[in-house]
Amino acid sequence: MSVRAVTGPAPVHPGAGGSIESLFASQRRSAMENRAKFTLKARLAMLSRLKATLKRRENDIIEALYADFRKPESEVRLTELFPVYQEISHARRHLRSWLRPHRVHGSLGMFGTAAEVRYQAKGVCLIISPWNYPVNLSFGPLVSALAAGNTAIIKPSELTPATSALIKDIAEETFPRDLVAVCEGDAQVSQALLDLPFDHIFFTGSPQVGKIVMAAAAKHLTSVTLELGGKSPTIVGSTANIEHAARKIVWGKFANNGQTCIAPDHVYVARDQAPALVDALRREIKRVYGQTDSQQKSGPDYCRIVNRRHFERLSALTDDATSRGATVLEGGVRDPGQNYFSPTILGGTTPQMAISQEEIFGPVLPVIEYDDISSVIDAINAGPKPLAIYIYSEDDSIREYIIERTSSGGVCVNNNVVHFLHPNLPFGGVNNSGIGTAHGFYGFKAFSHERAILRDKFSILGLLFPPYTTRVKQLIDLTVRILG
């Protein structure tokens, strides 16, 4: 089946199922009716069905992402499909243990009781996914939502219309609408969804929009998981292996044309290593993407900026920097007709430039020299807490020095980006870069209510109940003194 053509945002209704309100009502009924029916077997079957459909539609997914912003096939397989397949396999392998009630130890004051924690589905969940990894960041959270036993509505981005339409096709092919549904459209559709009392909202996007989502959720006291972004710094120390660092930085920065929330935003490099790092970055860019500007532009492994607005935003950031003294050390080639922006390295940026203050989210990498690592830590701590910090150093004391004195959602040592793929690590930000975590058990937990259950077997707490006679007061005093 070929990808459907999409000419514009969908209206404020989800299609044949009626209005957004009626869709939400049907999912709420389903969530309540199926609370006891979403057994382990049923959940495993849902996950298997999703994986089977994705496998069957792989070529359509590759086609759609190429149509939207020329994402290379291999990059689609590695960054869009593999994370979802891994999420499904990991959940299927561990879901039995996740669902098992967890016995918890009591205290002397709880003598005579038994207690446990059960993970219960929250109910109807909203997943608002972004345009940069639309398949990964729509179906990855859906895996966690289904594993936890919820129903879900997905709102994909209108900026990748071919992929958005395909996501809807895949959902409709795989699940009944009262279990999983997709609402296409623009900000008007998002607002209509946010006006509803969902039981959980999982949002991936910018901190600015994250604040709007959180404010809307507050009206209904809805819990949220916010995967945001920010300016994730990379630090290349004086003991770093420069060739290895350059290879990984080029991959992490320029994959998906830099449109990755955890891409290295900028690089701090020890001054004595700066010339070697810049040379190594240049060589690696040419090795990966082509020796000449024309080879890079025509090469099959480099995608495009998603639309003209983002292309112009990146151009404005770069032009502002160069007009105020920054230097293009590599790249800088642009073609607005294709939204093409070549892999670009900047030197000489200053904190006052817009590119130093805004998340770049594109293929422009400022390289900033430093003399004292404490000045780098001060610069990181002066801004909002980033989603990730990347440290390249062979000195363990320096690595620990940086980790202990900074705060971020995650850290990679001598690598970047790949912590997203680790199924047993929590992925998420902190404050401005995000709230809550995802992936594996952490994603299952995000979509679950941790329900406390206590059973009284032969508790003696009744001896402390009123009326507060002299004897009861003495027992209370004794309890407080010994057990408090």
| 61, 417, 449 from 160: Cα distances, Å | 12, 23, 33
Assign residue 15 a region (left: φ > 0; alpha: ψ between -120 and 50; beta: otherwise): left
Yes or no: say if 212 and 224 are a contact pair by the CB < 8 Å rule.
Answer: no
Give the whole-angstrom CA distance, residue 307 versus residue 24.
32
- Is residue 227 part of the annotated active site? The answer reads yes
> What contacts 24+ positions apart, CB below 8 Å, involve 273-278?
273/236, 273/237, 273/238, 273/240, 273/242, 274/367, 274/369, 276/242, 277/236, 277/242, 277/245, 277/246, 277/367, 278/329, 278/330, 278/345, 278/347, 278/367
Write down the residue that tokens 């004794």 correspond to. 478
In terms of Cα–Cα distance, which of 473, 253, 426, 468 is closest to 345?
253
Cα angle, residue 128 at apex, residues 124 and 133 outer, rounded to 5°: 135
Buried b (16+ CB within 10 A) or exposed e, 227-264: bbbbbbbbbbbeebebeebbbbbbbbbbbbbbbbbbbb
Give the whole-angstrom CA distance, residue 52 versus residue 431.
37
Question: Which residue in the list 87, 158, 227, 330 is annotated as catalytic?
Answer: 227
Give the whole-angstrom CA distance, residue 73 versus residue 203.
26
Give the whole-angstrom CA distance, residue 117 versus residue 49.
29
Buried b (16+ CB within 10 A) or exposed e, 137-161: bbbbbbbbbbbbbbbbbbbbbbbbb
- Is residue 312 part of the annotated active site? The answer reads no
What are the two backbone dihedrals, phi and then psi, of residue 313, each rounded to the nearest 5 degrees?
-60, -45
Give the whole-angstrom CA distance, residue 182 versus residue 233.
35
Give the whole-angstrom CA distance, residue 51 versus residue 208.
33
Question: Which residue in the list 63, 87, 183, 261 is annotated as catalytic?
Answer: 261
DSSP state of 358: S
In 396-460, where do the E strands start and end?
A: 410-413, 434-435, 448-456
Give the whole-angstrom CA distance, residue 354 versus residue 151.
42
Give the whole-angstrom CA distance, residue 441 versus residue 205.
22
Catalytic sites, residue numbers:
227, 261
